[in-house]
Amino acid sequence: MTANTVDLYALVVEDGYLHGASRDDDAGCPYGYWMVNHLGVEQWTLVVLKDVPEDLAARLEDHGTSAQDFSDGYEAWAAAQPYDAGTVEESS
């Protein structure tokens, strides 16, 4: 992590839809934090986003709330993809 950047966990479902993003350390647990077994989707991937600029990180974390800036999860994931540092866990 460099100055004015943060690392996030991001949960991407099905065909590239960002379900959510968080800098919370507990977000690295797909079953406890994201409760993936209750999402109603068959495929999901939990990834780490590294060195995300603070302003973009805040927008990603706001996705799915009343403060949402992206039009949908596909647009949010497209903005996040350049910071994808690898998979933590994925559905089998």
Domains of the chain, by residue range, sit at 5-90
Read off the pLDDT of residues 33-89 as tens digits, 9 standing for 90 and up. 999 988 888 899 999 999 999 999 999 999 989 999 999 999 999 999 999 999 999
**pTM for the predicted model, two decimal places:** 0.91
Using a CB cutoff of 8 Å and minimum separation of 24, what contacts does 12-15 make? Answer: 12/44, 12/45, 12/46, 12/47, 12/77, 13/39, 13/41, 13/43, 13/44, 13/45, 13/73, 14/41, 14/42, 14/43, 14/44
